[in-house]
Structure 1
Amino acid sequence: KKTVERYADVFREMGFKVELSQKLRPVSEHKTGIGFAPFAQHKGKMLPLEKSFELARLLAQKHTVYFFGGGKKETETLESWESKIPNTKSLSGKLSLTEELQKISELEVMISMDSANMHLASLMGTRCVSIWCETHPYAGFLGFGQSEEDVVQVKDLSCRPCSVFGDKECYRGDWACLEEFTIQKVIDKI
């Protein structure tokens, strides 16, 4: 079960009538570009930056790619990528939360790690291709309303999930979930 469904079950047990619905999500009629949020709070939830850079470079050959992130270091990285990859725009640190949500609602698709931007895309009714490394969507954290068909992960690793929240070190020591991940899987989804 997804986490939102588990929460709803708690309120139902308390006697409240709870019906989960996505009918009230704002949906922009003008959709253009791809959002890319390459960061997450923990290493186990994030592709190596070299792979994310290459993914952005390949996608920008055919699409406008908008980078999402936060914090000084992420903003510096994304601004550097913007200067190196034509047809990209870093929005990191430039928008208020309201403006960021509006931009996400206007995207054709968001690409996000198992992180907040996946959930923001869900709130705005924007399709999200989500990347799962150390974590697994079966732990219940797939964005509400997002399709399991848009989950991209290394499926044949018996060690996954190493952690429900992605905050553990790789007990094998090789980070296979990150290193064996191929960006072509994401491109195929797009």
Structure 2
Amino acid sequence: MAFKKILIFQTAFLGDLILTSPLIKSVKKSFPETEVSLVVRKGFKSVFAQSPYLSEIIEFDKKGIFRFSSFLKSKNFDLVISPHRSHRTSLILFLSGIRRRIGFDKSGFAFLYTDRVKHKMEKRVHEIDRNLNLLTPLKNYSLIVDNEPELPISDEEAEKTAKKFKLEKPFIVLAPGSVWKTKAWLSENFAKVGDYFYKQGFQVVIVGSNKDAPYCQVTEENMKGKAKNLCGKTTLREFFSIIKRASLVISNDSSPVHAAVSFNTPVVEIYGATVPDFGFFPYRNGIYVEPPIELPCRPCGIHGRKECPEKHFKCMKSITPEMVITTAESLI
């Protein structure tokens, strides 16, 4: 056996974690007799609970660098692969004493990795494929690369969630929230899209975390038809279960897109401040909508911003409900 214990380190946002699933699967399929563990940020342990590819999931609250590195050292991993590019991550993994450490060349403190892989922020290169490139230093082994994203939610678990929240098929999911304000399409427009599909006979379900509540509330209040607002009312796995059973998901450039892709649920992604070229477009079974006008200020940042730096927010204001509806109809 080439490696006894392999660690994958990904403590970024939820969407980034979901997009790590092909890497996790590929590592386990390539080294089936090896124990594969995963480090995630605090609160995300349930994302890959019951995954057949993982022996252990470890939470890290991003505090106590020396204590956590010492903990990892006690685990005796002999290989770590890190899609996460922070200075903190590089330092922790170096201090953990793991003999072989694979990371990106653009990571903070990248020199602390034993193997550095080129981070290709190139046009049309998806984040999934960037992560899978981390397997390149292991090409001398018989690698099995599986690039299909996957979340471990069974049909039974999804059905249980549907019964709990009284969700009736067919239903569509609206995800109007975002951590970054410039990545959020107008909630009033989400409402108009919701009304259109409500009239078409779909139940409309609004989802999001507690932080997304303002967006979700405005969407619900502006709808003329009925909507079930589950913002902040679900666990992560219930959130995934709802997306798994949906007929369609409409979302900003955020984690619901990648959850939908993981279940082959049709998804429409709305881009404003960010662009598909960053590599977070739907990997399959999805279409994205962009502003119909050229804007020299776009993109204004890889993650978006808290406020529009030009004060006009044309990137999102120029996208009409009709554009999103037409795109969505082509999927369902």
Q: Where on the TM-score scale, by shorter chain, does this alignment land: which range?
A: 0.7 to 0.9
- CA shift digits 1:42-68 (9 cap, x unpaired): 111011222222222232221211101
84 and 36 in structure 1: CA distance in 2 versus 1, 3 angstrom threshold? closer
Give % identity: 24
2:126 pairs with 1:2: yes
2:289 pairs with 1:152: yes
Match of 1:143 in 2: 282
2:191 pairs with 1:65: no
Moved more, 104-113 or 119-128: 119-128
- CA shift digits 1:77-135 (9 cap, x unpaired): 43981695433211222222222212211111100000111111122221110000110
TM-score (norm 1): 0.83
Match of 2:135 in 1: 11
- CA shift digits 1:15-54 (9 cap, x unpaired): 36252333866796x9621110011111110112222222
Provide the alpha-carbon RMSD of the alignment: 2.9
Give 2:191's aligned amino acid.
F
Match of 1:49 in 2: 187
Alpha-carbon offset, residue 6 of structure 1: 0.7
129 and 120 in structure 1: CA distance in 2 versus 1, 3 angstrom threshold? same
Match of 1:175 in 2: 313
Match of 1:113 in 2: 252
Give 1:113's aligned amino acid.
N
Higher normalized contact order (CA 8 Å, seq sep 6+, divided by chain length): 1
Is the contact made by 1:67 and 1:91 (CA closer than 8 Å) also made in structure 2? yes
TM-score (norm 2): 0.50
Secondary structure in 2 matching 1:53: helix
Match of 2:226 in 1: 87
Give 2:276's aligned amino acid.
P
Q: 1:101 aligns with which of 225, 230, 240?
A: 240
Runs (5+) with no aligned partner, structure 1 = none
Runs (5+) with no aligned partner, structure 2 = 1-124, 156-167
Give 1:131's aligned amino acid.
I
Is the contact made by 1:61 and 1:87 (CA closer than 8 Å) also made in structure 2? no
Match of 1:161 in 2: 299
Give 1:78's aligned amino acid.
Q
Moved more, 115-124 or 47-56: 47-56
Secondary structure in 2 matching 1:60: helix
Secondary structure in 2 matching 1:34: strand
Match of 1:128 in 2: 267
**1:154 & 1:123 partners in 2: Cα distance?**
26
Is the contact made by 1:60 and 1:85 (CA closer than 8 Å) also made in structure 2? no
Is the contact made by 1:27 and 1:105 (CA closer than 8 Å) also made in structure 2? no
157 and 18 in structure 1: CA distance in 2 versus 1, 3 angstrom threshold? farther
167 and 84 in structure 1: CA distance in 2 versus 1, 3 angstrom threshold? closer
